């Protein structure tokens, strides 16, 4: 399910519940989605990724569906990512209770950052998000050539 774009701050309440952003709640309700699957996206260095059950099977499980179950990369992926999966229900107020194990793993406390990313959305501890964003920007600069104008302006001057 493609989510509308959002990037916002969220608050984790003392009971470990997270109120989903209103546009996301509306989309999930319209699509009759009442549960989400949550995984830690980078272990103790990252945040949490939330998927609809269908997208979890396609995106997360699909990466290793036909893989050799004893191959090192498969084992690492299953242990690092898939083993953290938890299914959570969306309550009548549009909240999900984030399991304690995942809150601890992702360092989630009160103030959080959330954003949509194609077929899932992510929730991060604010400090970890800033660090991950900086790493992503460094990677983007390396991929595109730091200092290079990625979207060059149209040529100007006299027509030849």
How is the chain split into domains, by residue range? Answer: 7-144
pLDDT at position 152 is 60
Structure-token pair, residue 111: 């103030």
pLDDT in tens, 38-93: 999 887 889 999 999 999 999 888 888 889 989 999 888 888 888 999 999 999 99
CATH topology of domain 7-144: Chemotaxis protein chec (3.40.1550)
How many angstroms from the chain centroid is the CA of residue 43?
13
pLDDT in tens, 142-154: 877 765 555 566 6
Structure-token pair, residue 129: 């998000």
Structure-token pair, residue 138: 């460094």
DSSP string, 29-52: HHTT--EEEEEESSGGGS-EEEE-
């Amino acid at each position: 399910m493609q989510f509308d774009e959002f990037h916002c701050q969220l608050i984790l309440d003392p009971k470990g519940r997270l109120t989903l952003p209103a546009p996301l709640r509306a989309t999930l309700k319209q699509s009759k989605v009442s549960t989400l699957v949550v995984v830690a996206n980078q272990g103790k260095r990252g945040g949490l990724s939330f998927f609809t059950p269908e997208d979890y099977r396609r995106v997360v499980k699909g990466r290793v569906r036909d893989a050799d179950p004893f191959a090192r990369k498969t084992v690492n992926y299953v242990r690092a990512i898939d083993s953290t999966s938890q299914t959570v229900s969306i309550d009548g107020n549009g909240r999900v209770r984030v399991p304690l194990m995942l809150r601890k793993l992702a360092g989630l406390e009160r103030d959080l950052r959330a954003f949509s990313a194609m077929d899932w959305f992510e929730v991060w501890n604010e400090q970890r998000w800033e660090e991950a964003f900086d790493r992503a920007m460094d990677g983007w600069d390396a991929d595109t050539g730091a200092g290079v104008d990625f979207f060059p302006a149209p040529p100007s001057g006299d027509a030849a």
